[in-house]
Chains A and B, each alone.
Chain A
Amino acid sequence: MKRKAITFKRIVWTGVTNFLRNASLAVAAVTVMVVTLTIILFSVVTSATMNHTIAQISSKINISIYLRDSVTTAQSNNLIDELKNLPEVKSVNYVSKSQALAEYEAENSGNKSLLAAINETGNPLPASVQINLVNPSHIDQIQKVLGLSSTIQLEDPQAGTSYSGDRKAAIDQIAHATNILEQVGFAAVIVFALVSVLIIFNTIQMAIFNRRDEIQIMRLLGASTSYIRGPFIVESIIYGLLSALISVALIDLLFVVASSALQASSFGLLDINYAHNYFYSNFLLLLTLQLTLGIVIGAVSSMIATRRYLRFKSK
């Protein structure tokens, strides 16, 4: 056990030394890995922020069904019960004619002539049923119920159904944009991850080539495969760790610059403040994610390279 610990320590130390010696080759490997990891981190933060924006807007969406004045309490209660039974529906609110009028008056309390006109015509505002949804993208399911003839009979033909206007369209657009962004981000991550693997693969291949005489001597002295291979893997894991730290530092720097340049303003859909908070409140998690990815990319590429170029076979 002690012997294994000593050997492990030696492998790690040799890897660190080789990394320092290879500094010029390492620059290329680290640079491309930094780009990859930065894109990944940026995508994660952006996607979280976009989803937050969608959730924010979605929570404000609701459907109002305006009822004919002739609808009885029993009929409206029936409709409310039916709606409440739907799994997509979060809550249902009944707003009576008088409540609607009171709200209207409160909203337009400054406009005396408008209020006077309303009172003169009697109460023209219809009673309504307001539906809040669990998930606004399931609005289609609700529409099925609303499309039933029994429901349509109860509806005020002039007012009809309101889907909170164009909010639904806006949400769809954001969701669509987020989707595309996630897909593009994913594709970019895959491409850059592959490029990093290739470059690290090449770096290790060069290192093996440069030291092939040494490696041959080590073999003849009876060094085991892992004793020769280990330092190369350690070396590329160091590339990964270093790149992860740099990428996190880059994003951090980006926030510092962005928040001082833009203050509280936001990039349209990208709520910088939220992104900023998300980044710092999940800092350890994101750092761990980056470090893990760096280690995996580094280890995988050097494992392939050493497997390919450090063959241990006798003719």
Chain B
Amino acid sequence: MNVMLIFLAAVAAIIIWWLSGQRLTSKPWLETGSVQLPAHDDTGRQLSPVPAVKLGLFVFLGVVGALFSLAVSAYFMRMASADWWGMPVPRLLWINTAALALSSLALQWARREAQHGRMESLRPALVTGLALAVFFLIGQIQAWRELTAAGYVLTDNPANSFFYMLTGLHGLHILGGLAVLAHTTLRAFSAKVQPDRLQLSVDLSAIYSHFMLAVWLLLFALFAGWANDFVDLCRTLLN
């Protein structure tokens, strides 16, 4: 459960940082009558609060993070048993990783175009991001087929089982993100929608995509066995 505890520590740090700005030591019974004004920036303009959907997304990412941390914790705990042997990482995964990274990059580009309200370049950016993410998913399925064909079936070994389960869970999350992204892309192509209306949606898709990329990179490191080297290194350092 170490991975999960590290994740929880990170969440706790964020919560403590946030709580520390909330005047938890104030004495509300002495503060009758005061009303907090909305936050202002230096020039006196009212700051708009973080949009609720964005905050909702961050909380959701916390939940997804917990999910994968727990799955990875289980991976490490199961790994300790004797019947575990690693599985090879198909070359295709490297291509998939590149596709997912480029997809994330394209969405970052889209985010910038949306901020500047440039509709013409926003559309190709969104389509690129969408297409690359679809490519990633197809690539993952292809990787499954290659592995199965090579005899690395689900039930053979816990490493295989974890590989299929974790890539499956990750793929489902990507699929969910794709549905939202596809909706945004369709809206970008309808003539009526103004770029500033799209800005938030593109923003959210980009953040989600970056997060899922980060999760994938960690999972990939796990499958490739680097994580084990890292754990060994930590052990050596501790001893």
Q: Do A and B bind each other?
A: no
Residues of chain A whose beta carbon lies under 8 Å from any beta carbon of chain B: none
